[in-house]
Amino acid sequence: MKEFKTNKPKTELSKSKKVIIVVLIFMGGWLLGSGQMNFRSNRASTQKDIPSNLNYAEVERVYDELRSKYDGDLDVNKLMDGLKKGLVAASGDPYTEYLPPAEAEEFSGQLNGTFEGIGAYLGKNEQGNVIVISPVDGFPAKKAGLQPRDVIVEIDGKDSTAYSVDQAVDKIRGPKGTTVKLRVIRDAKEDLSFDIVREEINIPSVESKVINGNIGYMKIIRFGDDTAELARKAAEQFKADGVKRVILDLRGNPGGYLDASVDVSSLWMQDKTVLTERRDGVTIKTYKTRGSSPLLGIPTVVLIDEGSASASEITAGALRDNNAATLIGVKSFGKGSVQQPQNLDNGGILKVTIARWFTPNGKNIDKQGIQPDKKVEISKEDIKAGRDPQLDAAIAQ
């Protein structure tokens, strides 16, 4: 799953030290976004060195040549979508992209937590490989044994090494009950194959319970439409139950709406900065906590891992920088940019990177991630045995 920021509609996952995420959710086959997603309102352009309008004469010439000479059938809608995709892709930013109407509709559905697929988030690493960012607990990808950083090299027997994330998503998604075969390379040495039956994925963004009688456990799977409300209900229930400590689990959370991350952070803090946004090095907006804070003063541990990206990194960074929580786990993904969505007349969506976000202490974590206060890893043996040393460390904190 990116970090988004919004007014309506809202939208916002190696051994390699630098991983470029196009945090795509392919739980049913699409972006979430996003990572890594951050959506927000329109603002004036700072691109002063390029013309206000493009010269389309060469584009028209290409179209005329294609139309008159191409031996095959052409679809004008596909041509227009391809033109828009190419124009946006030329920015060179993996988070700036155009989604055609069908993809835009599915994309919006992902943030609501309902789709059909295998239950995993996809992205790309710096080498351009499509990778698994995070398989989701309880769903086919995780049950089959997919792990973060697995490189997908074949989909249904076809070489996928040159696929874009969009192409991989399109091939992997499909109706529930059908099977997709994935071949992956793990840790640059293991060659593994998985036959995974697709399911309907319906996931509330927040899960909560009380463990050991006095520890409130809250897991946020993504920062979606329902997150702020569900997280607040969980926090108020923790308070009513008299919990002494709280564990906030953001592992495998690829992001979502920036506003949701601000609302969640506000549960622990009063009158504090959650993040600042900068454009061209200048602060353009500061986000402060808002509303009541039922968990104010309650000792809290935040669990993070390499699948924690975007809006989840905003929350983790805000709580730590304001001394409201301790972080346990491994370094987070590292996405520090803000995307703005624009609904287009044809039903498509244009997402544009408009700013970089910084933690309250002034750190931008893009490609660097957030280091935990206490590093605790989960080994392959732990996974096979069903152990969770990170959660154990949080409980013992």
Residue 33 pLDDT greater than 70, yes or no: no
Mean pLDDT score across all residues of the chain: 85
DSSP SS3 for 277: strand
pLDDT of residue 316: 98
Whether the predicted pLDDT of 301 surpasses 70? yes
Can you give the pLDDT at residue 258? 93
Mean local confidence (pLDDT), 299-306: 97
Beta-strand pair 245-249/300-304 = parallel
The predicted model gives 356-381 an average pLDDT of 94
What are the CA-CA distances from residue 89 to residues 29, 80, 212, 222 (Å)? 20, 14, 50, 26
With bands split at pLDDT 50, 70 and 90, how would you rate the model's confidence at 46? low
Q: Which residues are catalytic?
A: 310, 321, 335
**Position with higher pLDDT, 297 vs 47:** 297
Percent of the chain with pLDDT strictly greater than 70 = 86
Q: The tokens of 16 are what?
A: 């390699």
Distance of CA 348 to the CA centre of its chain: 20
Q: What is the pLDDT of residue 104?
A: 81
CB 257 within 8 A of CB 12: yes
Among 123-127, 251-255, 312-316, 338-342, the minimum mean pLDDT is found in 123-127
Count the Cβ atoms, other than its own, within 10 Å of residue 63: 15
Give me the residue spans of the domains in the chain.
Answer: 204-336+357-396
Task: Write out pLDDT tens, residues 188-237.
Answer: 999 999 999 999 877 789 999 999 999 999 999 989 889 999 999 999 99
Q: Which long-range contacts (CB under 8 A, 24 or more apart) does 147-150 make?
A: 147/186, 147/383, 148/13, 148/252, 148/305, 148/306, 148/307, 149/14, 149/15, 149/125, 149/186, 149/187, 149/306, 150/184, 150/185, 150/186, 150/192
Instruction: Tally Cβ neighbours within 10 Å of residue 334.
Output: 24
Q: What is the mean pLDDT of residues 8-16?
A: 36
**Residue matched to tokens 């008299």:** 242
Binned at pLDDT 50, 70 and 90, residue 42 comes out as very low
Q: What is the mean pLDDT of residues 286-298?
A: 97
Torsion of CA 347, 118, 158, 66, to 10 degrees: 0
User: What tokens were used for 167?
Assistant: 């192409």
pLDDT given at position 35: 36
First to last CA, the chain: 29
Q: pLDDT class for 109, splitting at 50, 70, 90?
A: low
Report pLDDT digits (tens) over 127-162. Answer: 889 999 878 888 999 999 999 889 999 999 999 998
Q: Is the pLDDT of residue 107 over 80?
A: no
Say if residue 124's pLDDT is above 90.
no
CA–CA separation, 147 and 169 (whole Å) = 17
The first and second tokens of residue 174, run together, are 């499909």
pTM strictly above 0.95: no
Least confident of 23-27, 68-72, 221-225, 250-254: 23-27
Q: pLDDT, tens digit, for every residue of 374-393?
A: 999 998 788 778 799 999 99
Q: Which residues contact 334 (CB under 8 A, 6 or more apart)?
A: 19, 21, 309, 313, 365, 366, 367, 368, 369, 370
**In contact, 223 and 252? CB cutoff 8 Å:** no
| H helix or E strand, kind and range, residue 83 | helix 76-89
Q: Which CATH architecture fits 204-336+357-396?
A: Alpha-Beta Complex (3.90)
